[in-house]
Each structure stands twice: as structure tokens, then as C-alpha cells.
Amino acid sequence: MTHHLLSFGHGFSAKALAPMLLQDGWHVTGTTRSDEKALFLKETGISPLVWPGAELEDAVSQASHLLISAGPGPEGDPVLNGARDLILKYGSQFQWVGYLSTTGVYGDHQGGWVDETTPLSPSTKRGQMRVEAEAAWQADSAEAGFPLHIFRLAGIYGPGRGPFAKVRNGTARRIIKQGQVFSRIHVEDIAQVLYASIQRPRAGAIYNLCDDDPAPPEDVIAYAAELLGLPIPPAVDFETAEMTPMARSFYAESKKVRNDLIKSELGVTLRYPDYKSGLNALLELEN
């Protein structure tokens, strides 16, 4: 049987994984919300489905693997809301189901370390919705018997998603909040972890996806400026900084995330183990 990945919400991370599977002879179907994006997916070898809207049963019934990238909203998980009956109906045939979550489920640890066994205590509404979505997928996995794998992602960066544009156009700021530290992950490393998990499925697995170097966000901005040979953006105190509620909410949590499990269990060697190697690679791509 040809391996067939059905990717719900075929976004940044899924687009990094897809070429690895296509190279192995897989069929990849990706859902997207617009005809324009569907056209782009088709050009990259993906079978597009504009969903919600398109009929899903053919795609679900033919899938051997599912990847869920679509985030939850106030009404819950959009994939389970729109396709739960089909997923339960065909669940026994799935060899691997991956759910992309976030390290936000751990909440604030005042700069301390967390791992996959840390109790979930989100401090934002966004994190709480993720906890509820994880639990819904776990419940349906138990009911339908499909092998669920949860991937808790740190801050994602990669081509087109990095600090360089803001540093170049002068809008970057170094927001200073005492003790604040974030973990992050390059999109190519997300893709290789997902690929490794597909090769070695373990039903019920939960993995943290982050690099080896949790760092204050102002250090990342400063290093990006150094690489570009531009002045280091001004330091702005968090308390007085003008920020959107969404941006401010990211600073509600400070933690360092352990990634030992992706190495010991999946044999992954990170291509970009810290933000410096990642930013250098992004800049090389531009040149």
C-alpha cells in the first residue's frame, strides 16, 4: 500500500516535512483554506483540498498517516469539529497520527526547566485551548485505536520567518524582561523529528521540539543585527513597551524546554542546535 499522508492545515511545518515524504514515494494531501494556496500546494507536488468545503471521506479513507497542524479556537479543535466522525470511522487503519501542539501547555516556570513529564498548567487562554485539544485527541485515539503522537513545539523560525526583516527595516526592538527566556526550533528540525517519528511510531508518545539553547529574546535580536552589520536595536523595558496583547502574552511565560527524548528515542541530531547556527543558515539562504 502506498503511504498517504493527509495533512490538516498544511502550513509552515508540514511544508518542510512534505518534500522528505514525496522523495520516498509518498502521496501527500494537504488541506488549505483558499484556492490560491491550493494552487501553490499543487505546484509543490501536494494534492490540495480546500477545506472546510471539500468532501473529505475519500482523503480520510485513503490515508495511512494524519498530521494535524491546525490550531484550536474557542470552539475547540477545528479538525475534530469538522471531521471527527470520519477520523473515528477510519481510525483503525492509521499507522501514525501526529498532532502539533505547543510548549505553552506547560505554562510559566520562571525560567526553570520543563520536560515531557512536567504537569500541564498553561497560564494563557491559548495554552489552555491546546491542553483541551491534546486531551480531545487522546480521548479519540483511545476510542478509535489510532496511534497518536503529540509534538510540543517551541517558537518556530525558518526561511521567511526570522528577525532579519524587522532588524533591516528598523522595527525590531529588544524587549527586556528580567529573567525572560524562550526556547525555539528551526522548521527543518521540526520536519526531521516528524520524519523520524513516522519511521519509528510509538502510540501515545509526546515529544518536546526545541533546540539546545533557550535564550533571552533580546540576545537573538542583537545577534541578528550583528550578522547584518547593523546597529543593535534599542532596549525597551517590558513594563513600558507598547505591544499587542498577543505579543505581551508570550512574555507571560518563561521556561527552558528539555529535548532529550527526540535524541534518545528518535535518534535525531539537530541541524540547528542553537539560534546562532540557525540564523547563520537563514542568512546564507538569502545570499
**pLDDT value at residue 45:** 97
Nearest Cα neighbor of 98 from 225, 209, 223 is 209
Q: What is the pTM of this model?
A: 0.97
Question: Long-range contacts made by residues 134-140, C-beta under 8 angstroms, separation at least 24?
Answer: 134/99, 134/101, 134/105, 136/76, 136/77, 136/80, 137/68, 137/77, 137/80, 137/97, 137/99, 138/204, 140/80, 140/84, 140/87, 140/88, 140/91
Q: How far apart are the first and last CA of the chain?
A: 42
pLDDT band at 247 (very low <50, low <70, confident <90, very high): confident
Instruction: Answer whether residue 22 shows pLDDT above 80.
Output: yes
Rounded average pLDDT over 176-200: 97
Torsions phi, psi of 180, nearest 5? -75, 130
CA distances from 4 to 29, 67, 83 (A): 8, 11, 17
Helix (H) or strand (E) holding 260: helix 260-264
- Average pLDDT score, the chain: 96
pLDDT at 287 exceeding the cut of 80: no
Grid look-up 485539544 returns 133
Does residue 1 surpass a pLDDT of 60? no
Task: Match 494524519 to its residue by C-alpha cell.
Answer: 66
CA distances from residue 203 to 23, 86, 116, 258 in whole angstroms, order as listed: 25, 20, 15, 21
Instruction: Please give the Cα distance from 143 to 218 (Å, whole number).
Output: 45
Tell me which residue of 94, 193, 106, 204 sits closest to 149, measured CA to CA.
204
- Report the distance separating Cα 197 and Cα 96, nearest Å: 9
Q: What is the DSSP letter of 232?
A: P
- pLDDT digits 0-9 by tens, 23-65: 999 999 999 999 999 999 999 999 999 999 999 999 999 999 9
What was the pLDDT predicted at 218?
A: 96
Q: How many CB atoms lie within 10 A of CB 119?
A: 8
pLDDT-wise least confident of 92-96, 128-132, 182-186, 247-251: 247-251
Of the pLDDT bands very low, low, confident and very high (cuts 50, 70, 90), residue 240 is very high
Spatial separation of the C-alpha atoms in residues 77 and 87, rounded to whole Å? 13
pLDDT tens-digit readout, 155-185: 999 999 999 999 999 999 999 999 999 999 9
